[in-house]
A and B are shown apart, each in its own frame.
Chain A
Amino acid sequence: MYDIYNFVTGPLVWVSFAILIFGSIYRLGSMYALAKKKDAVSLAYMDWKFSFRSIFNWLIPFKALGWKKNPVLTVVTYVFHICLLATPILLSAHIIMIEESWGVSWWNLPDATADIMTILVIACCAFFAGRRLLQKDVRFLTTGQDWLILAIAALPFITGFLAYHQLFNYQVMVIAHVLAGNIMIAAIPFTRISHMLFAVFTRAYIGSEFGGIRKAKDW
């Protein structure tokens, strides 16, 4: 058990981060090369001002028409993404581990808050799953990969919650948690989670088109 723990928290973490970093560089680089080769007619219209204008306006909750017309989904989406990113980075247990091996640390969330945020992430995932099952249009769109990324996002939080509260076998849960976290990190560049990498650019592009060519808002 201890060996497995050492392996998943040691070499496997390195592997996951290597996949994340080099995978992302590769994905972004090859996408850019492809865009240069095949989408010159689109790239020519990219514009910093309109790119940021679009990104900025879409970051504000309820500003874009899409946010306005899907209010519940909007709240869930913001809560989900904020908790998903903030909880692991600001969790005291994670920071302590990093401090032990690297000597660096930063501000952490109170454990009780982190616990609530974990529950929120799980609840949001349950909401997304419910939509996929019950809402007709979303059900029609859903593919296997959508379930996969939902599971990839939910599992680190579910296992983390169980481990933190020492439910079931603690050691097994911790290992499962670290494993799930590693999978999530490594999955970013090569699954639909890659929207983390590419959405900035698709948003920037449509913002440039709308701002520069169509002289209209895209939110």
Chain B
Amino acid sequence: MAGLVTALMAVVALAAAAALGAQAGMAGVFGIAVPYVAVAIFVAGFIKKVIGWASTPQPFSIATTGGQQYSQPWVKQAKFDNPSTPGQTFVRMALEVLCFRSLFRNTKLDNRPAEGRVGYGSDKSLWLFALMFHYCFLIVFVRHFRFFLEPVPMAITGVEFVDSILQIGVPTLYLTDVFFVVGVSFLLARRIWDPKVNYISLASDYFPLFLILAIALSGIYMRYFAKVDVIAIKQLAFGLVSFKPVIPPNVDWSFYMHFFLVCVLWAYFPFSKLMHLGGVFLSPTRNLPNNTRMVRYINPWNDPSIKPHSYEEYENDFREKMIEAGLPVDKEA
């Protein structure tokens, strides 16, 4: 609970700081300085972390297999759960990254002592909401490119069109906005209500959830309630990416709050568990083929000086007894 409260307070404080700061005439700080710094931290931090991982040797091939191995032709291999070639491994990774394959497998413990049985029911809720959350995040992210690009590419207008297909309200409601909030809320609720997950949760688990929720809600507020001046915001965004920053007038404080929270997310990203975005590609249990009997896997620090207790020493130890037992020896006594 302490973690939850701390994280919530931290996010509230950050949001308040931006809202008040912007109204107190610090638009330049929140609109120009902070975003540049945040993006710089994100890029540098992300690269450093990934290079740190990638430059560390993976001494052993430790693929976790999820099905039948490659064997004789008459035995059907589970190609994408137990890949033996780089191509199959690629598919395994794609399924993992794009469809959350491992999470799809999730089960739930169902211990019923009264009936004398313990079962493992299928549990796809985490998979479903996690997938919803991540894809909505992606689409919302892509949609935002219209603020930086002129003319707005077809791909983005296309996404927007589909996203607002229900044509509810003015401005039209984006479906992803709704599902995004639903997704984050589920992940948050689960952390609070599932005793197991609650017990393992740290402030650093709640913080990004609250932060992302606050970003979503402030964005929704801007768009649907404050109905902020989009042209002005686009001018600001454009200035940032073209390195000719400007602070246009008529930008509502709610924009600065939203934008500041996004910047916090950028800057926080490389130092947090959010780095699973990069790490998922580097997980050796998933990104290596199970072909270690066919192809020698090299460990760069394999120590050739480690030798077995030699047969010679062994025989020296036991020669007489071996001879007596009629076991062949290399050297007679």
| Chain A partners chain B | no
Residues of A within 8 A of B (CB): none
Residues of B within 8 A of A (CB): none
